[in-house]
Amino acid sequence: MTDFQLIRKLRQESYRKIVLLVLDGLGGLPVDLGGPTELEAARSPNMDRLASEGTLGQTIPIRRGITPGSGPAHLALFGYDPVQFAVGRGVLEASGIGLSVAKGDVASRGNFCTLDTEGRIIDRRAGRIPSDQAIPLVERMSQIQIPGVEVEARHAREYRFAVVMRGEGLEPDIEDTDPQQTGVSPLTARAQTTMAQPTADLFNKWITEAHRCLADQPKANGLTLRGFSTDPGLPQFPDIFGLRAACVAVYPMYRGVSQLVGMQVQDFPGVQPEDEFNMAASIWDEFDFFFIHIKKTDSKGEDGDFAGKTAIIEAVDGALPTLLDLNPDVLCVTSDHSTPARMRMHSWHPVPTLLWAPATALPDDQTTFGDRACAQGGLGTFPATDLMPLLMAHAGRLAKYGA
Residue 94 to residue 226: CA distance in whole angstroms: 12
Residue 363 binds to a copy of itself (criterion: CB under 8 A): yes
| Touching a copy of itself, residues 181-200 (CB under 8 A) | none
Three-state SS at 380: coil
Question: According to CB under 8 A, which one of 4, 14, 31, 69 is a site residue for a copy of itself?
Answer: 69
Terminal Cα distance for the chain, rounded: 18
Q: Which of 31, 66, 97, 146 binds a copy of itself (CB under 8 A)?
A: 66
Residues 212, 145: contact at Cβ < 8 Å? no
Helix or strand holding residue 352 (H, E) = strand 351-356
The binder of a copy of itself chosen from 156, 170, 333, 390 (CB under 8 A): 390
Rounded to the nearest whole angstrom, what is the least distance from the CB of residue 384 to a copy of itself in the complex?
11
378 binds a copy of itself (CB under 8 A): yes
The CB-side HSE value for 287 (13 A sphere, CA atoms) comes to 24
4 binds a copy of itself (CB under 8 A): no
Q: Does 304 bind a copy of itself (CB under 8 A)?
A: no
Would you say 106 and 90 are in contact if contact means Cβ atoms under 8 Å apart? Answer: yes
Using CB under 8 A as the binding rule, whether residue 386 contacts a copy of itself is answered as yes
37 vs 297 by CB, closer to a copy of itself: 37
Smallest CA-to-CA distance from 40 within 28, 51, 57 is with: 28
The C-alpha R_g of the chain, in whole angstroms, comes to 22
| Residue from 4, 8, 10, 133 binding a copy of itself (CB under 8 A) | 10
- Nearest CA among 78, 94, 95 for reference residue 259: 95
Task: Answer yes or no whether residue 53 interacts with a copy of itself by CB under 8 A.
Answer: yes
Residues 6+ apart with CB under 8 A from 343: 29, 301
Residue 179 burial by Cβ neighbours in a 10 Å radius (0-12, 13-18, 19+): middle
Which one of 106, 228, 349, 369 is in contact with a copy of itself (CB under 8 A)?
349
Q: Does 402 bind a copy of itself (CB under 8 A)?
A: yes
**Quick check: 301 binds a copy of itself (CB under 8 A)?**
no
Residue 92 in contact with a copy of itself, rule: CB under 8 A? yes
Query: Is the distance from CB of 17 to CB of 328 less than 8 angstroms?
Result: yes
Q: Does 30 bind a copy of itself (CB under 8 A)?
A: yes
Using CA atoms, how far apart are residues 371 and 384, in angstroms rounded to an integer? Answer: 16
Are the beta carbons of 335 and 351 closer than 8 angstroms? yes
* Paired residues of 108 in beta bridges: 163
Nearer to a copy of itself, 241 or 287 (CB): 241
| Minimum distance from residue 151 beta carbon to a copy of itself (Å) | 22
Residue 108 contacts a copy of itself per CB under 8 A? no
Smallest distance, a copy of itself to C-beta of residue 271, A: 22
Residue 196 C-beta: closest distance to a copy of itself, Å? 20
Binding site for a copy of itself (CB under 8 A): 1, 3, 6, 10, 29-30, 33-34, 37, 53, 58, 62-73, 82-83, 86-87, 89, 92-93, 227, 343, 345-350, 358, 360, 362-365, 371-372, 375-382, 386, 388-394, 398-403
